[in-house]
Structure 1
Amino acid sequence: MASLVSFSLLKASASTPTTVISPPPSPTLETLDQRFGRKGIKFSESGDIPTTVELTVRNGSSLKLQISNGHISSYRPKVYWKDDGYEEVLHTLAGSRGGVGLVINELSQQTNSKAPSASAEWTVKDVDSDSIDALQVELGCMRGSLDISYVVSLYPLSMATAVIVKNNGRKAVNISSAILSHFNFKKNRSGSGVQGLRGCSYCTNPPPSSPFEILSPSESIKSEDSPGFFSFGWEPETKPGVWTVQDVPITVLKNKLSRVYSASPAERSKDFHRSAPSKYEVIDQGRGLFYRVIRMGFEEIYLSSPGLYSDKYGEDYFICTGPASILVPVTVNPGEEWRGAQVIEHDNL
């Protein structure tokens, strides 16, 4: 089990090699449970839905992970001091849309367009636990010359997703990557916001294309009509490529936007520049909750809200955010590896 950071992620002995378990065609439920199941880690299968693993720690906080595509479809932390005090944090639609998804797109060095790569499904590599207060599942897959590990961890007050990309080929590989989380807000647009980005530069930019997206890249930057005469303070988003500095302490996500927060690529080429914050908070004023998002390894923060477009996708409101490397791709040289992570934690007990 690979350990990325000292932020309470479970560690494994570096001297113990990881064995990739490739299940035979049509693996049985017993195969997964016998090999990996333990207290707090349960594998299940239902009809045509991909095999999932559910993690549940001592205080009842839980998450569900679809194994074949690495999609986290549910995260329900305990948020109140009462028996039924669990809230679904993620906004997930049928077809593995929304939730938390890892996006890795390989780019050609010449054009920065997506290069074709062999599709691959995730398989379970390992699991780990520390009593039942810390649980971890590691998935792995091969995409061309890239050996990718995806580590999902659950704790009583947080969940973490981490990725390790190793280049086993002979040529450098450029990748565009992100860990995008879709947060759910119960029928409340005006009560959604983000705090902690004040003073950071941003520009309008679409998200990376992914199978988990709710709004497509073209939809995300499509202009929204004025929400009405009484929507004071509303301004249309700037054009892509125009950089602006966040000048308010809280970004209200009532209206439509799609942004990348970071120093501009030109600024990042300098020896000294102001980087994006390492953490910020998602505010759900309607339910009186907030969640802290921590980025590691990534240089950018992606943030979007659907505005009136949310009506197309159910009654509840949602936003999409997470650490990213979109504007400046990550270069992974032969024999080297790149690591990135996201932590979602809360103090809502």
Structure 2
Amino acid sequence: MAMTTVASSPFLLSKSRPCSCTNYKRGFPLRVAAVASIPFQQPINVDYLEQEFSGRGVVFKGIGDDCVAKMSLDNGSKAILMLPTGLIASYKASMWHGGTVELLQSSVSQEEEEEANSIRGGVSVALECLSLSLDQEQVSWSPSNWALHDITGNPHDSIQVELISTDSHDMVQVKYIVTLQDDVLISQLMVCNNSDSSSLQLSGCILSHLTVSSPDATYAVGLERSDFFGRLPILTGSAIIPPDCGQKSESQFSQLWKQMTSNGWGPKNGHQTETEQEEEMEEGEEDDNYKNLREQMCRIYTSAPRDFTIIDRGRRNSVVVGRDGFEELYMFSPGSSHEFYGEYAYICIGQSAVLNPIILGPKESWTGGQRLHNPNL
């Protein structure tokens, strides 16, 4: 199967610029204060959402105190967005044969402490914002509960759902935009540092679980000559990690992940000697342009191309993964020792700022995103 490339990004990204109320991207405007946000409340008023946003291609359904937003286009492409977590649990893309194929892997797990089910996998945001003020105590904050800000578009062309989250002091504003088009699902983050004097450090990723028949039949195309560092898997509240990988991570996580435990990034008791950290930190250059992902692997590529392709020969389809704003590419394969088409038949791709966090000065903003392009129409 030939490598497929994706067209230029539908949004123009800036790593550091003054904050403003309206920031236009190539293809659509990003409106920060165009409408009043619908605040997060439990339970979410599904009837109100249905009335407010009827006719825009989104249907809401209550699940306990939460709800799901089902986005549907006329060409058959669909996505399911969980509220208030912001997790994209499903992306069914239209195919050349007229049907649709699920491109995301998600599962329902039982939370022992809360005795409640939670969705893991899919596409999720794991972001930590840390103030870097020299004259004040450093404040760490992560967006977790998203308020619905607006829904624009229609089922004929594209649908865009805008979520917003702010810290308790309104010093940081994070906006998450999910856009469904005929042949692409876009996840976009915008972070604005509202402080007049304090800089902001951003660490995190947009994490995507792509379902495959088996990693044994899956290939990453286009990463040749990309520099990488070998790491242990990133643990977040929504990540799907096989038991053997999780047990290893509990005892061998590096200091980098240990610093993020307060926000669910890693194990609570990870300690390593300097020798163990050096052994874990595999460094190299990718020498295979058609890399088979059958072996268990976890890497952060620091010089990967903006677009590359995941090909699954078992399902006979492919996904072009694109990133903007993020400099790092995270890739995790659980390996092919698990059941075909089972819970661990997936490849995890992340657009990340982990090894090198992003620094925002006072009144600056940053935008980054991921595109899952479906070339199979």
| TM-score (ref. length: structure 1) | 0.81
Instruction: Determine if contact 2:56/2:152 at 8 Å carries over to the other structure.
Output: no
Q: Are residues 12 and 321 of structure 1, via their aligned partners in 2, closer, same or farther at CA, if it must alter by over 3 Å?
A: closer
1:141 aligns with 2:165: yes
Candidates 89, 92, 100, aligned match of 1:86: 100
For 1:205 and 1:151, the matched residues in 2 are separated by 29
1:291-337: CA deviations, max 9, x gaps?
10110000000001011574599456111003111100011222111
Specify the alignment match of 1:250 in structure 2.
290
Specify the alignment match of 2:370 in structure 1.
342
Specify the alignment match of 1:26 in structure 2.
43
Specify the alignment match of 1:102 in structure 2.
125
How do 1:102-181 and structure 2 match up within 5 A? 102-107=125-130, 116-117=140-141, 120-130=144-154, 132-144=156-168, 145-169=171-195, 170-181=197-208
Specify the alignment match of 1:37 in structure 2.
54
Instruction: Determine if contact 2:218/2:311 at 8 Å carries over to the other structure.
Output: yes
For 1:203 and 1:161, the matched residues in 2 are separated by 25
| TM-score (ref. length: structure 2) | 0.75
1:10-38: CA deviations, max 9, x gaps?
33678x73322226553422211122232
In structure 1, runs of 5+ residues without a counterpart are 224-237, 263-274
Identity value in percent? 27
Specify the alignment match of 2:73 in structure 1.
57
Candidates 200, 218, 243, aligned match of 1:192: 218
Instruction: Determine if contact 1:127/1:138 at 8 Å carries over to the other structure.
Output: yes
201-210 vs 290-299, which moves further = 201-210
86-95 vs 30-39, which moves further = 30-39
Question: Which amino acid counterpart does residue 101 of structure 2 have in structure 1?
Answer: E
Candidates 67, 78, 90, aligned match of 2:83: 67
For 1:18 and 1:217, the matched residues in 2 are separated by 44
Instruction: Determine if contact 1:295/1:322 at 8 Å carries over to the other structure.
Output: no
Q: SS of the residue aligned with 2:215?
A: coil
The CA RMSD over aligned residues, in Å, is 2.9
How far is the alpha carbon of 1:4 from its aligned partner?
6.4
For 2:89 and 2:46, the matched residues in 1 are separated by 20
Q: Are residues 59 and 98 of structure 1, via their aligned partners in 2, closer, same or farther at CA, if it must alter by over 3 Å?
A: same
1:11 aligns with 2:29: yes
In structure 2, runs of 5+ residues without a counterpart are 1-20, 109-117, 250-277
Instruction: Determine if contact 1:280/1:293 at 8 Å carries over to the other structure.
Output: yes
Specify the alignment match of 2:314 in structure 1.
286
Q: Are residues 172 and 218 of structure 1, via their aligned partners in 2, closer, same or farther at CA, if it must alter by over 3 Å?
A: farther
Question: Which amino acid counterpart does residue 38 of structure 1 have in structure 2?
Answer: G
Instruction: Determine if contact 2:92/2:103 at 8 Å carries over to the other structure.
Output: yes
How far is the alpha carbon of 1:132 from its aligned partner?
2.0
For 2:41 and 2:211, the matched residues in 1 are separated by 37
Instruction: Determine if contact 1:209/1:217 at 8 Å carries over to the other structure.
Output: no
Q: Are residues 123 and 159 of structure 1, via their aligned partners in 2, closer, same or farther at CA, if it must alter by over 3 Å?
A: same
For 1:78 and 1:61, the matched residues in 2 are separated by 5
How far is the alpha carbon of 1:256 from its aligned partner?
0.5
Instruction: Determine if contact 1:206/1:221 at 8 Å carries over to the other structure.
Output: no
